Amino acid sequence: MALHQWIPSIKEAFLSLQAYLCQELALEEDQATFKADKWSRPNPEEGGGITNICSGGLTIEKAGVNFSHIAGQGLPETATRRHPHLIGARFEVLGISSVVHPKNPYAPTTHANVRFFCAQPAVKGAIPVWWFGGGFDLTPYYPFEEDCLAWHKAAYAVCKPFGESIYPSFKAWCDDYFYLPHRQEPRGIGGLFFDDLNEASHWPFDKAFDFVCQVGKTFIEAYRPILAKRKCMPYGEREALFQEIRRGRYVEFNLLQDRGTLFGLQSKGRTESILMSLPPRVRWAYDWQPEANSKEAELTEKFLVKRDWI
Do residues 192 and 211 make contact, with C-beta atoms less than 8 angstroms apart?
A: no
Q: Which of 4, 69, 83, 111 is catalytic?
A: 111
Report the alpha-carbon distance of residue 94 to residue 89 in Å, rounded.
16
Asked about 111 being catalytic, the answer comes back as yes
Three-class DSSP category at 166: helix
- CA distance to 34, 46, 93, 115, 249, per residue, from 62 (Å): 10, 28, 25, 22, 17
Burial class of 16 by CB neighbour count within 10 A (0 to 12, 13 to 18, 19+): middle
Amino acid at the residue 251: V
Which alpha helices (DSSP H) does 42-144 contain, by range? 77-80
Report the alpha-carbon distance of residue 106 to residue 242 in Å, rounded.
11
Report the alpha-carbon distance of residue 70 to residue 46 in Å, rounded.
5
Kindly tell me the sign of the dihedral angle through the C-alpha atoms of 251, 253, 258, 262: positive
- Burial state string for 181-206 with b = 16 or more CB within 10 A and e = fewer than 16: eeeeebbbbbbbbbbbbbeeeebebe
Do residues 279 and 62 make contact, with C-beta atoms less than 8 angstroms apart?
A: yes
Do residues 160 and 210 make contact, with C-beta atoms less than 8 angstroms apart?
A: no
Report the alpha-carbon distance of residue 39 to residue 181 in Å, rounded.
35
What count of Cα atoms within 13 Å lies in the side-chain half-sphere of residue 165? Answer: 1
DSSP-derived letter for residue 148 is H
Q: Would you please indicate which residues are annotated as catalytic (active-site) residues?
A: 111
